[in-house]
Structure 1
Amino acid sequence: MNQINVLMDQKCNGCKTHTELVEKYGDSYTKIDTHCNRQCNVGKQIQELGKQLTN
């Protein structure tokens, strides 16, 4: 959990791409999540760490 929080604090907060997607799509989190989870290297790392929590 700590690794996920550190990544999000250091890399996700203030991310220009995320901000641009929010401006473009508003509350359509599907579009934003698709980018963050499938295209962003940090998002992919967070996904892998999350999988470890469920094991």
Structure 2
Amino acid sequence: MSRLDVLTQINLLMNQKCKGCKTHYELSKLHGSNFSKIDNHCNKQCDVGKQIQELGKQLTK
């Protein structure tokens, strides 16, 4: 998969799945600008976040 394909796939996932995420919204309300708490949920607990992380690894190759 080319770099552009990976970036497109990440963009699609974020627009389709992350944009209206109620959990992300609730964590933002609860923790304000403390993005480390929100990122921890998205990167380690959310299936979509895990997919985005795996795609991101392909960008560093």
TM-score w.r.t. structure 2 length? Answer: 0.89
Q: How far did residue 10 of structure 1 move?
A: 0.1
| Alpha-carbon RMSD | 0.3
Decide which structure has the larger Cα Rg and report it. 2
How many aligned positions are there?
A: 55
Select which of 8, 27, 47 maps to 1:41. 47
Give 4+ residue runs of structure 1 displaced > 2 Å after superposition: none
Unaligned runs of 5+ in 1: none
Unaligned runs of 5+ in 2: 1-6
Q: How far did residue 26 of structure 1 move?
A: 0.3
